[in-house]
Structure 1
Amino acid sequence: MKKKDAILKVATVLFANKGFVDTSGQELSRLTGAAEGTIFYHFKNKEGLLLAILEKTREEIVEQFEQFFENRPFKSGMEMVEEVVSFHLYLAGLMEDKFLLLHRHFLYKFSESNPEFRENLEAIYNCLVDIFEEAIAAGQEDGSITKELHPRKTALILFTMVDGLIRFKNYNLYDAGALFNELMNTCRRMLQAN
């Protein structure tokens, strides 16, 4: 693993679990074996490092979903929605630290004053919501999902439900796995054409 990749990996875990302020350059240096100067040569400062993590997270999410969709036929848009929900939850477990980081408040504070943070957060969430919207539109096209729903708004609602379940899991607030079947049933009831 390249030193730069190792720095990104360790910083992701630290930022996700400890927060931005409580993660020091010294700790990053100690855990990666890279001198602080090397870390900040690659990323300029901690904000630059966090921004690089967001960019890499977006790339990984897109890549994972592209692989998921590759050569995968769906019988209907409804089936596609169900598969997208399931895969999104799986991906949140696979990329647990990155999804935990996406739920940290400091990212949203940065995005209020830094357009690069806002653009990256929006890109991550838009890519996920776009996938839900695509599945809903496919279902409306094939008749498995009611045409009465606005695809984008419905995609945002579905995404919010799934993301809420991921938050429960990440913060150990509730056994998210116990809600999976009910989440799927709720999605079907909400989307089904009469």
Structure 2
Amino acid sequence: MSKKAEILLTATHLLAVKGYKDASMAELAKSTGVAQGTIFYHYKNKEELFLAILKAFQEDIVEEFSRYRREHHFASGLEMVEAVIGFYLQMASQMEDRFMLLHRHDAYELARVNPTCHHYLEAIYNCLIDIFERAVATGQQDGSIRKGPARRMAMIVFTMVDGLVRFHTHNLYDAGVLYDDVVQSCRTILQNHVSPTRS
């Protein structure tokens, strides 16, 4: 791993645990074992470092989901939605620091005054909702999901699943315990109760 990548990884954990306001570059230097000058060589300030974390997060989501789709086949769009729910929960578990960072309030405080931060946060959520929307649209095409605004339906499903992730992130509840209930609820919301016509 390059020194720049190591700084980014350590900074992600530090910012996730302490928050944007309370984490300092001095702490980051101590955690990575490098001089502050080395960090400033790669990132001119904490804000630029934070934005780099958000940008990398979005890129990794796209890459992970692209890989997931290449490796899996779905019998229907509804099955794809259910698989995406599992994929999202797994991704949140594997990228725990990033999701913790994404769920911290101070990220949104920065976004109020920093258009680039706002753009990256919006892009991350759009990217995540796009994944669900693609699955919903696929189901509407094959008849396994009822007709309706695919984006809105995807947002409702995403909100349920992301709420479960937030429970897990903040150690309030074990997300795995509610997994089957969330999948069943999403199925109830989305399922086309009229059998698709076959030619």
TM over 0.5, shorter chain: yes
The match for 1:156 is 155
The match for 2:196 is none
Matched residue type, 1:51: L
CA distance in 2, matches of 1:76, 1:103: 32
| Cα-to-partner distance string for 1:114-142 (whole Å, 9 max, x where unaligned) | 11001111111111101111110110111
1:74 has 2:74 as partner: yes
CA distance in 1, matches of 2:178, 2:96: 18
Superposed displacement of residue 12, structure 1: 0.3
| Cα-to-partner distance string for 1:121-169 (whole Å, 9 max, x where unaligned) | 111111110111111011011110011x210011111111111000000
1:185 has 2:184 as partner: yes
CA distance in 1, matches of 2:20, 2:110: 11
1:52 has 2:52 as partner: yes
Q: Which runs of 5+ in 1 are unaligned?
A: none
Superposed displacement of residue 37, structure 1: 1.2
Q: What is the aligned-residue RMSD (CA, Å)?
A: 0.9
TM-score by length of 2: 0.95
| Cα-to-partner distance string for 1:55-80 (whole Å, 9 max, x where unaligned) | 11111111110100014221100001
TM-score by length of 1: 0.97
| Cα-to-partner distance string for 1:16-56 (whole Å, 9 max, x where unaligned) | 01111221111111111221111112111000000000011
Residues paired across the two proteins, number: 193
The match for 1:134 is 134
The match for 1:38 is 38
The match for 1:97 is 97
Matched residue type, 2:16: A
The match for 2:20 is 20
Matched residue type, 2:184: N
CA distance in 1, matches of 2:162, 2:51: 21
Superposed displacement of residue 174, structure 1: 1.4
CA distance in 2, matches of 1:143, 1:186: 18
CA distance in 2, matches of 1:126, 1:138: 18
CA distance in 1, matches of 2:138, 2:114: 36
| Cα-to-partner distance string for 1:86-138 (whole Å, 9 max, x where unaligned) | 10000000000001100011111111111100111111111110111111011
> SS at 1:70's partner residue?
helix
> SS at 1:75's partner residue?
coil
